[in-house]
Amino acid sequence: MSVELRKRIFAELDAQELIDPHTHINALNPASETLADILGYHYYTELAHSAGMPKSQVEEPGISPKVKVQRLIENLGSIDNTIQYSWFVEIVQRLLDIDVEYVDSSNWESIYSAAETKMASADWEQEVLAKSNLKAVFLTNDFDDPLEGFDTSVYIPCLRTDDLVFHLSKPEVRQRLANATGIEASGAATLREAIGKLFAHFTSKNAKACAISLPPHFSPAPCSDAAADAAFAKVVSGEANGVDAKLLSYFVFWTLAESCVEYKLPFDLMIGVNRGVYADGVFQGQDLYDSRVSLIQYREFFNAFPQVVFPISVLASVTNQELASYAWIFPNVVTNGHWWYSNTPTFIEHDTSARMEAVPKTKQIGYYSDMYKLEFALPKFAMFKRILAKVLAERYVIDRSWSEQRAIDFGKQILRGNVDRIFFE
Amino acid sequence: MSVELRKRIFAELDAQELIDPHTHINALNPASETLADILGYHYYTELAHSAGMPKSQVEEPGISPKVKVQRLIENLGSIDNTIQYSWFVEIVQRLLDIDVEYVDSSNWESIYSAAETKMASADWEQEVLAKSNLKAVFLTNDFDDPLEGFDTSVYIPCLRTDDLVFHLSKPEVRQRLANATGIEASGAATLREAIGKLFAHFTSKNAKACAISLPPHFSPAPCSDAAADAAFAKVVSGEANGVDAKLLSYFVFWTLAESCVEYKLPFDLMIGVNRGVYADGVFQGQDLYDSRVSLIQYREFFNAFPQVVFPISVLASVTNQELASYAWIFPNVVTNGHWWYSNTPTFIEHDTSARMEAVPKTKQIGYYSDMYKLEFALPKFAMFKRILAKVLAERYVIDRSWSEQRAIDFGKQILRGNVDRIFFE
Amino acid sequence: MSVELRKRIFAELDAQELIDPHTHINALNPASETLADILGYHYYTELAHSAGMPKSQVEEPGISPKVKVQRLIENLGSIDNTIQYSWFVEIVQRLLDIDVEYVDSSNWESIYSAAETKMASADWEQEVLAKSNLKAVFLTNDFDDPLEGFDTSVYIPCLRTDDLVFHLSKPEVRQRLANATGIEASGAATLREAIGKLFAHFTSKNAKACAISLPPHFSPAPCSDAAADAAFAKVVSGEANGVDAKLLSYFVFWTLAESCVEYKLPFDLMIGVNRGVYADGVFQGQDLYDSRVSLIQYREFFNAFPQVVFPISVLASVTNQELASYAWIFPNVVTNGHWWYSNTPTFIEHDTSARMEAVPKTKQIGYYSDMYKLEFALPKFAMFKRILAKVLAERYVIDRSWSEQRAIDFGKQILRGNVDRIFFE
């Protein structure tokens, strides 16, 4: 009974048109051109490397897309158990319309060719959006992105602020800020002004969110203008120590939240990543984490900005209960998707189950794809929808005697309704 | 098969008369008078507030119970997914005998009236106890509670000690202690004497436990009388710093355990809460936690008091494995219920499953309601019994080929037998 | 459907011949002689003690095996819910061929006698190996073990190094090292030389792994020869402080990894145990943990030794996601079994599910028994295989539409194939 029930609920969820609230899509080149764009995704290169493929093979300069795909295919046998591999197969099956269970050395070449042909079609991007039931996707834009040359109602800008908070000590970042805003920041006041300019620019281009990823040790506090001035001066003169850098990062972080108040933007916090842990890893395959992080670190921050909505992602499943509890108590905290190392079925099932029964149903953003190429929305959302259907079937229709329709409505609100409510109202 | 099996096991568990080993019932006024007593529970006010209801609406002084209920009902749509909402509906269905799936603006007024009538009946309290299959409930009494005017065999006193351990620096707390004991505490010896008096009073009134809630950073150590004398003097003179306050809290905590030895009382430890994290939250809706806590902090304490039984609750599910492991090794550590932010089905299922298979079956107290009003025992215990039946069906009868009867007997021991064994033998 | 499917998959997994990659078997006396060897396992003595049996009863000097068994049996009623008790019953059922559901005061004596007879048989050891489908087991050998008198192709040596890393400050450990190697270590160079000798000896005796258990606070860093010389001198002269001891432990740990490079041995890291937490516990029933540990502590170490394979066990399930993530990213990190307090079904199911879908299938060592007596491999591996069959059935065949054969092949690789690949290739 449960399996049939899950299928019925899945079918209803699957019919729901989606807006993907967090991706890394390049709006000027959103879809793939060859399978190398698919298999070049760090999930494949890092897993193949982890399973034994030398980094030099993965990243050899100058190799053609086809050679890259051939090499990766030869190394995917060891990872064909992973959920990430299943995304690739589902892309082949449902976007390329090729009915295979594996892609391996026996069949990859014909699939490569078929993909090349399909992806060269003028309407491939539209076809992918249509098959994926995707109305729009959020981007992740550098603060100095001109945001031009694309339809911002489909590719919705999002101001990514890691560079501003954590890398202002780099002269090139300060230069980029000056170029983007026309303001030569020299302290608290000019920094605030420059950041305001960024928000004005982004919101004029239909930006719907500000976003940042944060390391586990980050524990923000307010920083006075005077302290920020002093810290900034030391950073510019190259005399900054760790405390100065920290103060400056606090100041910028706090200022971003102030701008979110002024410009009425939600501020996506993605909490928990340590960058560059595996120094010799492949591109984008070097980051890990320390799961000893707590939302108590944001206590003062959440209290200081009741007017800002914070959609929050946590990297480790062990932080999920805190996230659910903080979203249950703080009006301005919202649960947001299943990030990176927690974006696998066992953790998604546990984490979404815990949120669904304890957080107001209007404050749960079910899922985002985090994709770099459009083709991944379909299999990633499909994974989530299958899990959501399972949880709704088992924990609501069976365990709590809900009607199927009530369960489906709840699922749709998590999948889509709350994206509308939180980012567009 | 599994669903029918669960129902059969649930029916057997549901027939078991209960003693609720931890509540916040006011013995002089245990049951509700209107739905405002039900919906005034912080689970509803804080969730409604989290979903957008202004605190000023929730807590406007002078509003009538009926207006308060009306306002809350209008804000419960956003939380009708939560397990907490389901408790409310189950109260309406099973205690008020009204067959509805939702309570909303379309039907609340007639339900309010029906409730008012029922609750005004002279035997409402007895009816609730009977329908809930409740023989007795433990209270949470201030240390200076006279414990008079009620039947202590039904409303069983429990000495709550947070004020003594954490708030002795407040003159009013010291005054209350003096008033309650006739002893003007001036140092270690008099404090010990005063605490002894409290235990004598409480046990003379049928108290069956001492209890305290503890913040995550608390890491108790023994404190000499001389050190306690010095710390106490500074506290009284207003010159105490953080270290003095900490030493004094250690001294009192240790002294409480010594009294538990003398008076043969279990000492309930509820570990992990940070008070007042959301400063602008509604009443009782401000506390959260830092899940980075370990029972290793109690290592010396557990070793020092082998004669005291410590029923332990942890606030976060990530601490549950430690709790199960410490109860598996330490004879004096007992697992106790599913507290607050872990009192939702996903965490209960995971946590109780882990305990059931690794902790001696005599050392697991399955559940307490933590309720403020009698009406909540029924739906909260029902939730737990459904989960317990699910775990017994799936993990014992199916996975481990136990007979149904063996599974039921185990369930009843967790539900009730261990409460008798631990608090009454 | 799911239950039948699980049974079919289990049957296929159960037919797989095993190599047990981590045990504490004494190769000179691997099997039990009486039930006292079975019930003397710390899982029973510590649980019986936790449930109320005095340590003096458990460990009274001079009692006969039969009296010891009688006493323990009388105290097992309180733990017959535990998975550990089920191992004992499965041994009675499947190795002693006695069809009982419980062993208690009504039937223990005849079972004791039957066991004594069976175990006295000359081929009992072989019978246990055969019934358990065990081809070989890894040992845990002291560094000065002569490794003589047994078949090292069945009982495979493993160099256990806790004493070297953490107890070199004890004169008797340094003496044992001198005796074993003929080298009187006096600093970095001679320590390195002595350790090299141990590796040469062990690998000449077919050793296939180096292993160590590590406390949660251990956070290794490289240590120069000069610093190690200074620290060693202080340790020998008895003037060492905590920093010296730590530096020396880092030096030895790093040197062990260097030897693993040279001798091509995997280095099993078992992370998270605090020794002696319950000071008055029974033998081997005193250790617990602090779950606040992170693999980030090994960041520098993992980067420094890309040539060494690290099969890693973590003590707490809350660390399992980090383990899965680090194994997903670092080529030299491999997931290894379900250790001690995480070796119970609820945690195994959650932890193995999380690994299976995110770690390359070649990098997961499913299970080891950790046993002290041969009889435990059968019930412990059976427990794991049942859970593995459940996960394969529910999460692969049902949730992901895998064929049964594909699921079985994946399961066999985790159970056995990777042991061959990682330790024998």
Mutant choice from C303, C330, C392 vs A, greatest count of A C-beta within 10 A: C330
Q: Mean per-residue pLDDT for C22-30? A: 98
**pLDDT for residue C272 is more than 80:** yes
Q: Give me the pLDDT at residue A300, please.
A: 98
Q: Give me the pLDDT at residue C241, please.
A: 87
Same fold across B32-121 and B129-424:
no
Residue B64 neighbours by CB under 8 Å, 6+ apart: none
Quick count: other Cβ atoms within 10 Å of Cβ A97?
10
**pLDDT for residue A425 is more than 90:** no
Identify whether the C-beta of residue B377 lies closer than 8 Å to the C-beta of residue B371. yes
Q: Mean per-residue pLDDT for A163-174? A: 96
- A81 and C299: CB-CB below 8 Å? no
Residue C385 neighbours by CB under 8 Å, 6+ apart: C10, C13, C14, C411, C415
**pLDDT for residue C3 is more than 70:** yes
* Residue count (chain C): 425
In CATH terms, is domain C129-424 a member of 2.170.150.70? no
Arithmetic mean of pLDDT over chain C: 97
- Strand pairing partners for C267? C210
Q: Give me the pLDDT at residue C145, please.
A: 98
- Coil, helix or strand for C86? helix
**DSSP assignment of B138-173:** E--B-TT----SS-TTTEE-EEE-HHHHH-TTSHHH
- B83 and A358: CB-CB below 8 Å? yes
**pLDDT for residue B273 is more than 80:** yes
Quick count: other Cβ atoms within 10 Å of Cβ B94?
16
Q: Give me the pLDDT at residue B329, please.
A: 98
The CATH fold of domain B32-121: uronate isomerase, domain 2, chain A (1.10.2020)
Q: Is this model's pTM higher than 0.80 or not?
A: yes
Residue A341: which pLDDT band, with cuts at 50, 70 and 90? very high
- Contact of A391 with chain B, judged by CB distance below 8 Å, is answered with no
pLDDT digits (tens, 9 = 90+) for C210-222: 999 999 999 999 9
Q: Mean per-residue pLDDT for C224-240? A: 93
pLDDT digits (tens, 9 = 90+) for A211-221: 999 999 999 99
Q: Taking CA B35 as the corner, what is the angle to CA B29 and CA B37, rounded to the nearest 5 degrees?
A: 40
Arithmetic mean of pLDDT over chain B: 97
Distance from CA of B16 to the nearest CA of C (A): 20
**pLDDT for residue A1 is more than 80:** no
Identify whether the C-beta of residue B231 lies closer than 8 Å to the C-beta of residue B286. no
Q: Give me the pLDDT at residue A240, please.
A: 86
- Coil, helix or strand for C343? coil
**pLDDT for residue A302 is more than 70:** yes
**pLDDT for residue C279 is more than 90:** yes
| Nearest residue of chain B to residue C346 (CA atoms) | B354
**pLDDT for residue B419 is more than 80:** yes
Q: Mean per-residue pLDDT for A16-27? A: 98
Q: Give me the pLDDT at residue B425, please.
A: 87
- Coil, helix or strand for C404? helix
Q: Give me the pLDDT at residue B1, please.
A: 59
pLDDT digits (tens, 9 = 90+) for A347-394: 999 999 999 999 999 999 999 999 999 999 999 999 999 999 999 999
pLDDT digits (tens, 9 = 90+) for C55-74: 999 999 999 999 999 999 99
CATH class of the structural domain A33-120: mainly alpha
- Contact of B7 with chain A, judged by CB distance below 8 Å, is answered with no
- C328 and A345: CB-CB below 8 Å? no
- Coil, helix or strand for A311? strand
Q: Mean per-residue pLDDT for B35-52? A: 98
pLDDT digits (tens, 9 = 90+) for B191-229: 999 999 999 999 999 999 999 999 999 999 999 999 999
Cβ-based contacts of A342 with chain C (< 8 Å): 321
**pLDDT for residue B270 is more than 80:** yes
Residue A242: which pLDDT band, with cuts at 50, 70 and 90? confident
Residue type, A198: L
pLDDT digits (tens, 9 = 90+) for B326-367: 999 999 999 999 999 999 999 999 999 999 999 999 999 999
Chains that touch B (3 or more CB pairs under 8 A): A, C
Q: Give me the pLDDT at residue A168, please.
A: 94
CB burial of A59-71 (b: ≥16 within 10 Å; e: otherwise) equals eeeeeebbebbbb
pLDDT digits (tens, 9 = 90+) for C286-321: 999 999 999 999 999 999 999 999 999 999 999 999
Q: Give me the pLDDT at residue C238, please.
A: 87
| Nearest residue of chain A to residue B45 (CA atoms) | A329
**pLDDT for residue B309 is more than 80:** yes
Identify whether the C-beta of residue A151 lies closer than 8 Å to the C-beta of residue A26. no
Residues C286, B294: Cα–Cα separation, whole Å: 17
- Contact of A321 with chain B, judged by CB distance below 8 Å, is answered with yes
- Contact of A318 with chain B, judged by CB distance below 8 Å, is answered with yes
Identify whether the C-beta of residue B150 lies closer than 8 Å to the C-beta of residue B22. no
Beta-strand (E) ranges in A123-218? 134-138, 155-156, 158-160, 209-214
- Strand pairing partners for C180? none
Residue C19 neighbours by CB under 8 Å, 6+ apart: C134, C135, C136, C137, C138, C156, C416, C419, C420, C423
**DSSP assignment of A353-377:** HHHHTTS-GGGEE------SSGGGH
Residue type, C259: S
All structural domains of chain B with their residue ranges: 32-121, 129-424
- C316 and B330: CB-CB below 8 Å? no
Residues in C 326-355 with any Cβ partner in A closer than 8 A: 326-331, 350, 353-354
The CATH number assigned to the domain with range C34-120 reads: 1.10.2020.10
Cβ-based contacts of A322 with chain B (< 8 Å): 288-291, 316
- A82 and C358: CB-CB below 8 Å? yes
**pLDDT for residue B150 is more than 90:** yes
Q: Give me the pLDDT at residue C425, please.
A: 87
**pLDDT for residue C1 is more than 70:** no
Q: Mean per-residue pLDDT for C233-241? A: 89
